[in-house]
């Protein structure tokens, strides 16, 4: 029988949409905005001081993967720990298959847009494939040997969801060390062999473990005396602020497209980068929990619209990206580029308002 006696039996928060969940939605909305800023790739612009041009020591991508893993651990692991595993596993596997299908579709849509809507000599949008070779496109997309960089996260998520049932089974048996050891081995194999999803699964499954034990973590936090609780909450915020500014300063010493991460490398994904990404996430989580309710109404509405259905936002954001690439010539004017990025962000928000969008696009 699964060992669950060490976990709190009562929900850690009301089942209604709690402040904690809303905070995660705000963060997912922020990560989507940053991803759009980086994918538009029009520098300089005023938004670059938020995103760091996607070249900082860690990025929104790690945060996005982290929240996904956290929710799998909490929602499908902890909250359903007394339910039979088979239907949970079936749901996760079906979800993984759906995301694989959308990975393939997004890749084909992107390449088709490049081939059909641009001239052969364009450099604004491109693919590594032979232009017009549809068979190569289809086979490359199906085998995941070519994936659109704009929807790269989908294939990470699909693989991790397919492995998640085994991780949940081990969590039910309190085999925490086995999970972490296997995940670290997987990361090392991916690191030395350039297998990207194996590198990133460590972020996902470390967050899954945190999600599963989140009740205990929150309970222990609330039992701390006032001063240690204050330090536990605000020390990550301070570390985030210091390292964010430090990283941002280094980024802007080089032109776009020349990241200088050093030990904080994202290609391949290094252990220092993964560790720092968890520190940044903890800092942002504490900061947004305190500050998000005080954001202007328009900002809260924007972030929640994108964050509550972040996977949908992530998929549909390729439409404004293609539109901006086709409609606007490359410029080095900071005001023009800022306007183009703002158009892409708000166009994604507008697409999210389409009625019944999630009958087609997964959420």
Question: pLDDT digit string (tens) for 242-254?
Answer: 999 999 999 999 8
What is the predicted pLDDT for the residue at 12?
39
pLDDT-derived band at 11 (thresholds 50, 70, 90) equals very low
| Residue spans per domain, the chain | 19-359
Interval 217-239 mean pLDDT = 93
How many Cα atoms are found within 13 Å in the side-chain-facing hemisphere of 41?
14
Which pLDDT score, from 0 to 100, does residue 2 have? 41
The pLDDT of residue 15 is above 80: no
Least confident of 102-111, 184-193, 266-275: 266-275
Q: Give the whole-angstrom CA distance, residue 136 versus residue 79.
A: 44
Q: Are 288 and 303 in contact (CB under 8 A)?
A: no
User: Residue 121 pLDDT more than 80?
Assistant: no
As given in the structure block, the two tokens for residue 304 are 């929640």
- pLDDT bucket at 98, cuts 50 / 70 / 90: very high
pLDDT in tens, 166-207: 999 999 999 999 999 999 999 999 999 999 999 999 999 999
Rounded to an integer, what distance in angstroms lies between the CA atom of residue 215 and that of residue 209?
11
Query: What stretches of 47-195 show up as alpha helix (H) in DSSP?
Result: 48-51, 60-71, 85-117, 134-142, 153-172, 176-193
d(CA 117, CA 322): 10
- The whole-angstrom separation of Cα 336 and Cα 353 is 26
Q: What is the rounded average pLDDT of the residues 102-126?
A: 90
| H or E element, residue 39 | helix 19-40
pLDDT for 6: 42
Q: Would you list the DSSP string of 175-199?
A: -HHHHHHHHHHHHHHHHHHT-HHHH
- In degrees, rounded to 5, the angle at the alpha carbon of residue 358 between the alpha carbons of residues 354 and 363 is 120
pLDDT (average), residues 42-60? 94
Is the pLDDT confidence value at 257 over 90?
no
User: What is the CA angle 275-278-283, rounded to 5?
Assistant: 130
pLDDT digits (tens, 9 = 90+) for 305-318: 999 999 999 999 99
Separation of first and last alpha carbons in the chain: 34
Q: Which residues contact 256 (CB under 8 A, 6 or more apart)?
A: 41, 43, 53, 55
> Which value, in Å, is the radius of gyration of the alpha carbons in the chain?
21
SS3 of residue 269 by DSSP = strand
Distance separating alpha carbons of residues 18 and 24, to the nearest angstrom? 10
Q: Which residues make beta-bridge pairs with 266?
A: 269
């Amino acid at each position: 029988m699964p060992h669950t006696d060490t976990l709190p039996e009562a929900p850690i928060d009301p089942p209604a949409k709690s402040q904690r969940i809303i905070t995660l939605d705000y963060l997912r909305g922020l990560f989507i905005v940053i991803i759009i800023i980086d994918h538009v790739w029009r520098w300089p612009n005023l938004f670059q001081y938020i995103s760091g041009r996607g070249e900082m020591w860690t990025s929104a991508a790690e945060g996005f993967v982290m929240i996904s893993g956290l929710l799998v651990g909490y929602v499908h692991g902890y909250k359903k720990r007394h339910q039979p595993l088979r239907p949970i596993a079936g749901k996760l596997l079906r979800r993984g298959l759906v995301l694989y299908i959308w990975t393939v579709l997004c890749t084909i849509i992107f390449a088709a847009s490049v081939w059909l809507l641009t001239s052969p000599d364009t450099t604004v949008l491109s693919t590594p494939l032979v232009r017009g070779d549809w068979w190569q496109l289809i086979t490359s997309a199906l085998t995941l040997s070519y994936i659109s960089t704009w929807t790269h996260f989908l294939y990470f998520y699909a693989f991790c969801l397919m492995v998640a049932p085994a991780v949940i089974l081990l969590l039910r048996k309190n085999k925490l060390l086995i999970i972490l050891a296997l995940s670290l081995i997987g990361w090392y194999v991916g690191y030395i062999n350039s297998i990207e999803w194996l590198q990133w699964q460590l972020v996902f499954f470390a967050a899954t473990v945190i999600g599963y034990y989140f009740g205990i973590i929150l309970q222990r936090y609330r039992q701390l005396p006032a001063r240690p609780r204050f330090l536990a909450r605000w020390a990550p915020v301070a570390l985030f602020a210091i390292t964010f500014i430090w990283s941002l300063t280094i980024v802007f010493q080089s032109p776009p497209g020349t990241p200088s991460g050093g030990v904080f490398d994202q290609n391949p994904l290094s252990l220092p980068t993964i560790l720092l990404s968890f520190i940044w996430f903890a800092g942002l989580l504490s900061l947004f929990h305190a500050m998000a309710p005080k954001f202007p109404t328009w900002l809260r509405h924007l972030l929640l619209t994108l964050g509550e259905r972040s996977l949908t936002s992530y998929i549909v954001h390729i439409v404004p990206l293609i539109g901006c690439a086709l409609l606007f010539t490359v410029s080095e004017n900071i005001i023009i580029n800022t306007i183009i990025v703002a158009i892409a962000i708000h166009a994604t928000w507008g697409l999210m308002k389409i009625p019944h969008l999630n009958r087609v696009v997964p959420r």
